[in-house]
């Protein structure tokens, strides 16, 4: 059985390495742009889109990017210039916005409660003042009652 010759020429090992590295770099750039890196160091912290970050995520050397994959540098710059917000970052910013809104609501509620507490404090002070006034009035009434019920000696009339 004779083998049919392939229309595409066979790739040399060097060309296979270049294609494989190019594929790794493109997939890594896509993951970084989406905010879903697979490299453990990049998952633990925030990162910027740099050549070092791309090389780390693709698990290739930076020198390979500078030497054989200059087009990736341009794509990296374009992705960085677009300021694509990764999904994780967008979710984080949504949570931050929710927290800020909650803080504003709580600040409004705090101001309302401070105002209500001030009104209640004023009412307490007015009530205490009224209690003191009523105590003094009650003491005067008791003193007046005591004077009114106190037996008064009748003057003796002239002896006849």
- For the cut 90, the answer to whether the pLDDT of residue 134 exceeds it is yes
The verdict on 122 and 76 lying in the same domain is no
Considering the chain, what percentage of its residues have pLDDT values greater than 70? 89
6 in a domain, yes or no? no
One domain for residues 97 and 50: no
In this structure, are 18 and 78 located in the same domain?
yes
How much is the mean pLDDT over the chain?
Answer: 86
Query: Which domain covers residue 102, as residue numbers?
Result: 88-149
Question: Do residues 111 and 74 share a domain?
Answer: no
Residue 108 and residue 80 share a domain: no
Are 22 and 77 found together in one domain? yes
160 in any annotated domain: no
Residues 62 and 36 in one domain: yes
Residues 99 and 73 in one domain: no
In-domain check, residue 34: yes
What global pTM score does this model have?
0.48
| pLDDT for res 156 | 81
Characterise 59 by phi-psi region: left (phi > 0), alpha (psi -120 to 50), beta (else). Answer: left
Q: Answer yes or no: do 77 and 118 share one domain.
A: no
Alpha carbons 160 and 158: distance in angstroms, whole number: 6
Last residue of a domain, one of 84, 99, 116: 84
Q: How many domains does the chain have?
A: 2
Confidence category of residue 77, pLDDT binned at 50, 70, 90: confident
73 in the same domain as 93: no
Same domain for 22 and 60: yes
Please give the full DSSP string across 67-89, using - where no structure is assigned: HH-HHHHHHHHHHHHHT---HHH
Where residue 129 falls among pLDDT bands split at 50, 70, 90? Answer: very high
Same domain? For 92 and 79 the reply is no
Report, as an integer, the average pLDDT of 41-50: 82
Residue 42 — φ and ψ, nearest 5°? -85, -20
Q: Which of 61, 84, 107 is the last residue before a domain boundary?
A: 84
């Amino acid at each position: 059985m004779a083998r049919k010759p392939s229309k595409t020429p066979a790739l040399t090992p060097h060309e296979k390495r270049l294609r494989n590295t190019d594929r790794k770099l493109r997939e890594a750039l896509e993951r970084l742009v989406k905010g879903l890196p697979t490299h453990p160091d990049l998952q633990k912290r925030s990162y910027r889109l740099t050549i070092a970050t791309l090389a780390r995520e693709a698990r290739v050397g930076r020198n390979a990017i500078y030497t054989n994959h200059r087009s990736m540098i341009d794509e990296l710059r374009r992705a960085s210039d677009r300021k694509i917000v990764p999904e994780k970052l967008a979710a984080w910013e949504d949570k931050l916005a929710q927290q800020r809104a909650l803080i504003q609501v709580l600040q409004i509620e705090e101001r309302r409660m401070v105002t209500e507490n001030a009104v209640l404090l004023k009412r307490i002070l007015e009530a205490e003042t009224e209690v003191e006034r009523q105590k003094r009035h009650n003491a005067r009434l008791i003193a007046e009652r005591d004077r009114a019920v106190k037996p008064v000696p009748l003057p003796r009339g002239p002896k006849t």
